[in-house]
Amino acid sequence: MKPLLAPSILSADFANLEKDIKAAEKGGADYFHLDIMDGHFVPNISYGPMIAKTMKRITDVPLDAHLMITKPREYIPKFIDAGVELIYPHIEASYDVYRTVQLIKDLGGKAGITLNPGTPVSHVMPLLDLLDSVLLMSVCPGFGGQSYIEPVTGKITELRALLDEQKPEVRIAVDGGVKKDNIASIRRAGADFFIAGSAVFKADNIEQEVRKLKALLDTA
Ligand code: DX5
Ligand code: ZN
């Protein structure tokens, strides 16, 4: 599967959001990643569906929303209405996660599920018939700018093998600490959807940084 790069706007300059988004878009961003935090599931608060509506006014690049919130089902319809294409709730957030993922599909979205670094990859198997993508967190969620947790690379390899047996078209996304010096090895382990926040938006030249990360993916 063609590797996709999704810059996370959490690290963008919100005083110059449109400028940052346009630069990443010019560099070839495949998605923009929206980190939704409620101060309960993670110890940080970010933004809600309004940011998706704002992004839709700025760019035609598709959006994915990573829901770090305890009540995903209450907000999924709002994110779909706001134009988000792909939604990643957390498997750890609710006891009835099957219904959560089902709701995304019923509303016409692409369904993802997110696993924290300590959650075994086998936990996604009962959801597989509904899933388009599995997001493996490579940091503990809540903040940008943390370091990649190395053992997650083994989880990518393990999950790729499981998916190849049962539903090979499901993508593997990786989020947290993705940088120029590790993106190629994460790709080789079997990931194909790369979320990068600080690597893109803290760079001096955002457009060029997106190009460099994409070139590393293409030659990995
Ligand atoms: C962390 C978020 C990430 C974050 C990634 O909770 O889910 O998407 O923005 O930031 P970097 O790439 O800086 O680790
Ligand atoms: Zn994220």
Ligand 1 centroid to Cα of residue 220, in Å, is 22
Which of 63, 195, 209 best tests ligand 1's pocket when mutated (most atoms within 8 Å of CB)? Answer: 195
Task: Write out pLDDT tens, residues 141-179.
Answer: 999 999 999 999 999 999 999 999 999 999 999 999 999
Task: Write out pLDDT tens, residues 31-64.
Answer: 999 999 999 999 999 999 999 999 999 999 999 9
- pLDDT value of position 44: 98
Element (H, E) at 200: helix 198-201
- pLDDT value of position 145: 97
Indicate if ligand 1 lies below 6 Å from the C-beta of 86.
no
State the Cα angle at 88 between 156 and 78, rounded to 5°.
175
Indicate if ligand 1 lies below 6 Å from the C-beta of 59.
no
User: Which candidate, 10, 11, 13, places its Cα nearest to that of 47?
Assistant: 10
Ligand 2 centroid to Cα of residue 174, in Å, is 9
Contacts of 114 (CB under 8 A, 6+ apart): 66, 67, 88, 89, 90, 91, 134, 135, 136, 137, 141, 175
Q: How far apart are CA 122 and CA 106, in angstroms?
A: 24
Task: Write out pLDDT tens, residues 50-108.
Answer: 999 999 999 999 999 999 999 999 999 999 999 999 999 999 998 899 999 999 999 99
Domain ranges for the chain, please list them. 4-219
Indicate if ligand 1 lies below 6 Å from the C-beta of 66.
yes
Element (H, E) at 166: helix 152-166
Tell me which residues are annotated as active site.
35, 175
Q: What 3-state DSSP class applies to 103?
A: helix
Ligand nearest to the CA of 141: 1
- pLDDT value of position 33: 99
Contacts of 168 (CB under 8 A, 6+ apart): none
Indicate if ligand 1 lies below 6 Å from the C-beta of 69.
no
Indicate if ligand 1 lies below 6 Å from the C-beta of 142.
yes
**Whose Cα sits closest to atom 4 in ligand 1?**
144
Can you name the CATH fold of 4-219? TIM Barrel (3.20.20)
Ligand nearest to the CA of 88: 2
Task: Write out pLDDT tens, residues 114-128.
Answer: 999 999 999 999 999
Ligand 2 centroid to Cα of residue 71, in Å, is 17
Average pLDDT over residues 28-33: 98
Name all contacts of 164-168 with Cβ < 8 Å and 24+ positions apart.
166/125, 166/128, 167/128, 167/129, 167/131
User: Which candidate, 199, 204, 210, places its Cα nearest to that of 176?
Assistant: 199
Ligand 1 centroid to Cα of residue 141, in Å, is 7
- pLDDT value of position 94: 86
